A and B are shown apart, each in its own frame.
Chain A
């Protein structure tokens, strides 16, 4: 394997980087602030969000909730009781995580042909076309609530007005004889499981100062169990339960600290735990539970810095710290908070002072001593800076200062992720095969059923869970036939891999290696020669014509490589191959940057060690030959694509956490009918600019290129959009999709292609298990689920496309947010699955459609190494593979 991302993808299939769920960075991403959660009428997919979105603001509104323009209609002003989706967010309880499940984004109603049914109607007699049925179990539990279960939402007003939430609560709770013992109150909104006698209840009470206060409790909503507020509320209740079970909350999930798994070799500690969410699924409300593992480190950030200091040279120490630490999540010793490290302030130290809320100045040392009895011993350590993600009223992000000595590291550093041994040791504990995973999930339900307090709380709210996992029937679509210049072959569906079958078969389109460079250092002379010999061995059967490379020996310095490239590249050069003696990133970055921007030719970097093992040298050379061929514009294999005149687009984002915090979107669009050639471009987001502006430009150029290739414009465009964060669905639906439509309009009035936009999500906690001979197994590749666990307001489905060697396979979620294609769900699902076969860096089925993975690779290369837009001369080749 070669290339920068090699280490990340090592031994794993592309698109599977997050095989270990919820460790470190994964957890961070999930706690990113949700943008603009929306609460809309299902009939109106594109209306503005209904309530003001300032966190906490809706809790403070004194009147009835504002309703979206469109639905306010003829309702009289003043108090009204409504039942339905006109909801407000439970801001204070849900906190910053509201919107996490993209509640309230309803898209299916707008898509005409799936309004009635989005399921592929599968008649068992018509075999073959629809795929085989398979009995599946999902990690979902049915929520059974009492009939007519509703939640009553009250607005609580105080006269005179009371500001302090605590006081408001204290005053209200004195009247438990009226409101009952079971309640939830955020200072303004009161939720009760029972209805009060009157629509408006007034009670009088006295403050501690003896002032009389009138509390007015007004019924504003009767929430059906399916309303977004209700769902948010179920989730809050459930979090309470987990707390009652003595599970520790870290980030968004709950972990059991009493039985940690310790991996002393790497100073790692794994806490087993659960991630849970209660969601509206197709027919009922479900609890989705998955096993989560929190990787914690039994060393502080300061310990880590000391250790690093001993490992690197003095002048590189600060950079090394920044590289290793920025972006990591730390856990403070003195409270249960997690923070993401955004910066390290080397000019500050614990003796610096800050201003407390009351205005007094205090040093960090004194503060932590006084407040938490925490001694800071190293007074010269730098401090960590974390930008608070809670937006304050002024929208000015507040930064939090943290002391390294008082922070534990969590998750894995990039270096550890790249360390094969660390990942192997972790995988033993975190990759649970289906049987074991199901057992662990069942344990949580067991805990809930055994704990009396938890049972009581559930009873008070009238909630209960089914104790069995949800079972239903899914479908397995046929494996594809792989076409490779006149040869057709099947692959073993169990492994979803055809590396054996395709060996020795000529490629669809082989690019010759007439004129190419091989650059190496003196020490790697032998390695370079062996590579050359092996390439001569493997290329003929692929159909690649090859001349001997121009061999260039250089000193092991970045400048030497660059100088050699500058001198030797001619307009006829096909590709430059560089053998690097180490995985040092700077050399790689410099070479890639030069060959992607200043001097645009395909390039291939290989680390000498990869080539040095005699037993694997030939197969490595074969892989490199394929990769080089793709980079030069060659084509490897194809599958049958029945749709004509369709352009497939894949988009993925890379978020640069270290320098400049820029986002980069990779954009890849098919150029031909067989989906073997791709147009690739990326959008580098500059400060204050929306990513979508760049995407528009990409789409425009892609369509122009398509026209150049095909002499007509595509009649259908299908966009696979990856890299959409939790809670960002609303933005995508309301801003990005209209921008795409806008862009298409610019091609003239007569051009009306059908557009489909599908949001691709790899990071889901849904798992499927297949029943096989009394045991639970991973479902086979090609398993499609569009029933039971999908969401009624969406046109969505799950596909398990890849096979895994260990652990439980993770399905990919596809949410069709916009679709004028009128394609049958079955056809769209099968097209999606076909596209998972088309990623040329892996001769097997991957987890996402190939264009998404290409877009990911491109964005990753640009974000990690090049930092600016690559030269467009390369855009018709997969130069970034």
Chain B
């Protein structure tokens, strides 16, 4: 990780490369890569940059953001919407992104059941009464397996140019390492979590004693997953307001699965049909380096393939064949194409999904194409 941190010679001006906020987000991304949480909440999500980065992590199925300011969330919330590409090739994983407007001092059941809760540069913005309630809400009520809390380390402040009191006018306090660690250890003890301390933003050479610019505590819950029933015992009313919600298309949704299967089946069947016709043609005619010609010529060659030959193949029933103007591509053949197979899993599922959506032979065993209209021209 150290290669990300590249300080210039300490000249009195500290410049972090990449910028410190990116390093904080990267820290979370790395953590997600390590623990593979399914449900992640970001408290104090502001414009949702971290959520936007996390939506690309394929392990995550639920993403939630919470902020006290609705307008800052609204500013860029649309980048959390699914992309056209997500609709074009829906993935297996499902993903729901929700933004809530509310305070970390209040409990809302929508925050239950998360695996990871991040509070990046949040606590220093809390008023005293909010900070007091914060541990109970996050560790007691939400009780995720992991909580990450980052906050400025004020010991670093003398190295930052122009910082007199706090780094940001809205900060209510900035702690030194001892203050943060004692608060964190006490909180961890009370709610049965373990905590480890780290940080981002290395101090310049020779000034290592001040510690990281941003200090981070990673809290891991010591007791096992609270059961569903335990959660329902916590009666609370919904107090947050949903600002934004996006449900990503996923193959878990029947509608998208069906679309994907139908489109793959027809496409596969067409490939088989084309290669079948090409094959038939090459048997009947010398090779012509011209695709349009091939098409125009195929009519007679297909009729050469007389009825009885067609019947011969139909008995085998596993082979695609052409009978007159109609091409038969057995579903069993299509089913063994890897993409189709992966999508459906079982043959029964395949049949169920394409029912009514794909033209099948009368016994339902094959996809049929009527090649007559193919050649239709004005």
A interface, CB within 8 angstroms of B: 10-11, 181, 206, 208-211, 243, 246, 248, 250, 255, 257, 260, 262, 264-265, 267, 269, 271, 296-298, 311, 313, 331-336, 358, 371-374, 408, 420-421, 581-584, 609, 613
B83 near A336 (CB under 8 angstroms)?
A: yes
Q: Any chain A CB within 8 A of the CB of B313?
A: no
In the complex, A297→B87 CA distance in Å?
11
In the complex, A271→B83 CA distance in Å?
13
Interface size on B, residues (CB 8 A): 44
- Select one of A257, A298, A421 contacting B263, CB under 8 A: A298
- State how many angstroms separate the Cβ of B160 from the closest Cβ of chain A: 8
B164 near A262 (CB under 8 angstroms)?
A: no
Pick 12 A–B contacts, CB within 8 A, sort by A.
Answer: A206-B169, A208-B168, A209-B162, A210-B165, A243-B78, A248-B83, A331-B88, A332-B85, A335-B83, A408-B85, A408-B89, A421-B373
A311 near B169 (CB under 8 angstroms)?
A: no
In the complex, A581→B377 CA distance in Å?
16
- Select one of B17, B83, B160, B267 contacting A358, CB under 8 A: B17
B88 near A208 (CB under 8 angstroms)?
A: no
**Residue with the highest number of chain A CB atoms closer than 10 Å, among B71, B82, B84, B264:** B84
A contact residues around B162 at 8 Å (CB): 209-211
A609 near B377 (CB under 8 angstroms)?
A: yes
B377 near A267 (CB under 8 angstroms)?
A: no
B163 near A408 (CB under 8 angstroms)?
A: no
In the complex, A334→B169 CA distance in Å?
36
Which of B226-234, B288-296, B303-311 lines the interface with chain A?
B288-296
- Select one of A257, A264, A334 contacting B56, CB under 8 A: A334
A contact residues around B17 at 8 Å (CB): 358
Q: Any chain A CB within 8 A of the CB of B262?
A: yes
B87 near A257 (CB under 8 angstroms)?
A: yes
- Select one of A206, A264, A373, A420 contacting B376, CB under 8 A: A420
Top 8 closest pairs, chain A to chain B, by CB: A209-B162, A264-B263, A264-B266, A333-B85, A373-B56, A208-B168, A257-B87, A11-B378
A296 near B84 (CB under 8 angstroms)?
A: yes
In the complex, A211→B168 CA distance in Å?
11
A267 near B267 (CB under 8 angstroms)?
A: yes
Q: Any chain A CB within 8 A of the CB of B221?
A: no
In the complex, A208→B125 CA distance in Å?
13
- Select one of A208, A374, A582 contacting B292, CB under 8 A: A582
B contact residues around A374 at 8 Å (CB): 56
In the complex, A298→B339 CA distance in Å?
14
Residue of A nearest to B266 (CB): A264
Given contact pairs A311-B291, A408-B85, A609-B377, enumerate 17 new A-B contacts (beta carbons under 8 Å). A11-B378, A209-B162, A210-B164, A210-B169, A246-B81, A255-B84, A257-B82, A257-B87, A265-B270, A296-B88, A313-B289, A332-B85, A420-B378, A421-B374, A581-B293, A582-B292, A583-B292
Q: Any chain A CB within 8 A of the CB of B18?
A: yes
- State how many angstroms separate the Cβ of B15 from the closest Cβ of chain A: 11
Given A208-B167, A358-B18: A584 and B290 interface contact (C-beta under 8 Å): yes
B interface, CB within 8 angstroms of A: 17-18, 56-58, 71, 78, 81-85, 87-89, 160-169, 259, 262-267, 270, 289-293, 296, 373-374, 376-378
Residue of A nearest to B19 (CB): A358
In the complex, A262→B260 CA distance in Å?
10
A contact residues around B89 at 8 Å (CB): 298, 333, 408
- State how many angstroms separate the Cβ of A467 from the closest Cβ of chain B: 26
- State how many angstroms separate the Cβ of A462 from the closest Cβ of chain B: 20
B contact residues around A420 at 8 Å (CB): 376-378
- Select one of B18, B82, B169, B263 contacting A267, CB under 8 A: B263
- State how many angstroms separate the Cβ of B161 from the closest Cβ of chain A: 7
B85 near A209 (CB under 8 angstroms)?
A: no
- State how many angstroms separate the Cβ of A174 from the closest Cβ of chain B: 9
A contact residues around B88 at 8 Å (CB): 269, 296-298, 331, 408
In the complex, A374→B378 CA distance in Å?
45
In the complex, A335→B83 CA distance in Å?
7
A333 near B83 (CB under 8 angstroms)?
A: yes
A248 near B378 (CB under 8 angstroms)?
A: no
B85 near A264 (CB under 8 angstroms)?
A: no
- State how many angstroms separate the Cβ of B101 from the closest Cβ of chain A: 13
In the complex, A255→B164 CA distance in Å?
50
Given A250-B84, A331-B84, A358-B17: A10 and B374 interface contact (C-beta under 8 Å): no
In the complex, A812→B374 CA distance in Å?
34
Interface of B is mostly: loop
B84 near A336 (CB under 8 angstroms)?
A: yes
Residue of B nearest to A269 (CB): B88
In the complex, A311→B169 CA distance in Å?
65
In the complex, A257→B259 CA distance in Å?
13
- State how many angstroms separate the Cβ of B71 from the closest Cβ of chain A: 8
In the complex, A352→B18 CA distance in Å?
22
In the complex, A754→B58 CA distance in Å?
69
In the complex, A208→B167 CA distance in Å?
6
In the complex, A181→B72 CA distance in Å?
12
Residue of B nearest to A173 (CB): B71
- State how many angstroms separate the Cβ of B296 from the closest Cβ of chain A: 6
A contact residues around B78 at 8 Å (CB): 243
In the complex, A335→B88 CA distance in Å?
13
Residue of B nearest to A584 (CB): B290
A331 near B85 (CB under 8 angstroms)?
A: yes
A contact residues around B296 at 8 Å (CB): 609
A209 near B263 (CB under 8 angstroms)?
A: no
In the complex, A257→B263 CA distance in Å?
17
Residue of B nearest to A166 (CB): B47
A10 near B259 (CB under 8 angstroms)?
A: no
A209 near B290 (CB under 8 angstroms)?
A: no
- State how many angstroms separate the Cβ of B76 from the closest Cβ of chain A: 11
- Select one of B18, B83, B161, B163 contacting A334, CB under 8 A: B83
B266 near A265 (CB under 8 angstroms)?
A: yes
In the complex, A11→B376 CA distance in Å?
13
Residue of A nearest to B170 (CB): A208
Given A206-B169, A582-B290: A408 and B84 interface contact (C-beta under 8 Å): yes
B163 near A210 (CB under 8 angstroms)?
A: yes
In the complex, A584→B89 CA distance in Å?
34
- Select one of A243, A264, A332, A358 contacting B262, CB under 8 A: A264
B contact residues around A10 at 8 Å (CB): 378
B contact residues around A421 at 8 Å (CB): 373-374, 376
- State how many angstroms separate the Cβ of B108 from the closest Cβ of chain A: 21
B contact residues around A584 at 8 Å (CB): 290
B contact residues around A582 at 8 Å (CB): 290, 292-293
In the complex, A265→B267 CA distance in Å?
6
B contact residues around A260 at 8 Å (CB): 87, 259
A contact residues around B290 at 8 Å (CB): 581-582, 584
Residue of B nearest to A296 (CB): B88
A257 near B84 (CB under 8 angstroms)?
A: yes
- State how many angstroms separate the Cβ of B73 from the closest Cβ of chain A: 13
A262 near B18 (CB under 8 angstroms)?
A: no
- State how many angstroms separate the Cβ of B79 from the closest Cβ of chain A: 8
In the complex, A181→B69 CA distance in Å?
13
- State how many angstroms separate the Cβ of A513 from the closest Cβ of chain B: 27
A contact residues around B160 at 8 Å (CB): 209
A372 near B56 (CB under 8 angstroms)?
A: yes
- State how many angstroms separate the Cβ of A417 from the closest Cβ of chain B: 14
B87 near A264 (CB under 8 angstroms)?
A: no
A contact residues around B266 at 8 Å (CB): 264-265
- State how many angstroms separate the Cβ of A333 from the closest Cβ of chain B: 4
Given A267-B263, A408-B84, A584-B290: A209 and B270 interface contact (C-beta under 8 Å): no
A contact residues around B378 at 8 Å (CB): 10-11, 420
In the complex, A581→B57 CA distance in Å?
54
Residue of A nearest to B171 (CB): A208
B contact residues around A255 at 8 Å (CB): 84
In the complex, A255→B81 CA distance in Å?
13
B57 near A373 (CB under 8 angstroms)?
A: yes
In the complex, A265→B71 CA distance in Å?
45
- State how many angstroms separate the Cβ of A163 from the closest Cβ of chain B: 15
B376 near A262 (CB under 8 angstroms)?
A: no
In the complex, A264→B353 CA distance in Å?
14
